Structure 1
Amino acid sequence: MSNIIITGAGTGMGLSMTKKFLANDWHVIMAVRNAAKAEKVYQELQDQYGDQVAMYQVDVSNGQAVAKFAEQVNTQYNQVDTVISNAGIFTGSLLHELSKEAWDKTMAVDVKSIFLMTKAFVPGMMARHAGNIINISSVAGLLGDYNMPAYNAAKGAGTNLVRSMALDYGQYGIRVNNINPGATNTPMFQGNSEEVKAAYRNDSPLKRIAEPEEIANVAYFLVSDQASAITGQNVGASMGYGIWTGQPKQ
């Protein structure tokens, strides 16, 4: 049974990916920021899958916490085959109104966590000459948006980081890819007003937003042997966001 770590696994896209991999006989190691909040869903998964699923509380933006997590995982399991860095936060503000603390937190959770998780688990993949790393980025990492300077900058860093990682680790048989969703029907998105949610749906070429399960399907494909030739890519799963030049309809 292959082992996968999924960060931000207690809700939204992370939870959908957890369920997708469990349903396909993977052993899933859930990394969550707040174990108490995720306890109910974890118990439900344990009732269905038993010791096929495990959960750890870890702040993936904190170096000491990730090092402790890696020590626990490497002691418990013989190897980690795939890491999906899904944990992330959204920060919206004009740049001059953004606090230093908000900027630093966005960079820590959305970028530094990828660095820390890779640093912790890629050596084992290198030793085995096999592995997959997937980072959940955003269409906001490919283009600019109004009132999202920190988020655009953080996701933009991930856009190029995946290429560098793919170049460096390909010789070890490790594939590295990003998934770039647009608006997705997660609890975070549902926190928007009905007007905002309708605007996102109407602006999509498909006239809807993505479901978390659809992002999970892309992740599962990228890890599979069917995607064996794919590395260093920013794979869009955005309902068509990012394909328009911005020019008016004629």
Structure 2
Amino acid sequence: MPTIATWNVNSINARLSNVLEWLGAAKPDVVLLQEIKCQDAAFPREAIEDLGYQVATYGQKSYNGVAILSRWPILDVVRGLPGEPGDEQARYLEATVDGMRVASIYLPNGNPVGTEKFAYKLAWMERLRARAADLLESGAPLVLGGDYNVIPEPIDCHDPKAWEGDALFRPESRRAFRALLHLGLVDAFRALHPHEEHAYSFWDYQKGAFQLDHGIRIDHLLLSPAAADRLVACAIDKEPRRRPKASDHTPVVATLEDRP
């Protein structure tokens, strides 16, 4: 059964040993990476290809950047979220793997609220909704995975009161996330674990947040009906967050039944 993971690695070159170790142990079939923080030429392609993956990247110097790793050929690549030709931030990469359309998404943070950064976040989410609606029309399996920088519900953070007013938890952000779900997309983790608490994918580096489990769930795998029908498992793998020099995010992994 194929597995697909999303992971904000917070600099692929700074975390390369951790990434290679996890890929070798977990052996996911498709991996959607965010915040690779390097230009395409600086991506450690050879080291990852040596593990049996094909690689597609959309990077930029020092910031952002997304990638797709796949054990199958990566076809029909789209670099950048359609809808705003002037947007040069490397936050969206889309392709077809094994008959499934996938996208690696690094959604804008949006802080501070009340600035152009929050307006950009909401506009970007509307563009994402429009793109998702177009992709869903085909009826083919679709997985939109990544760091959404959205805490969907109070259960998805350790201390909801502390996040009030933050762009990740603002009603506007959560409403835009629900708009994606209302298209028919399914949050893979919550579909299988609707009431699970302390299910976080990000812990700040400060104040012992990981050790205290003061986290938030902002990394999501959203599945179309054709993909959700094949969903058999979805888990948050905390082990990489325990490693030295870890990313502040950890992988979320979904398992799908084989294609009929």
TM-score, normalising length from structure 1?
Answer: 0.48
Which has the larger strand fraction?
Answer: 2
- Structure having the higher Rg: 1
Which has the larger helix fraction?
Answer: 1
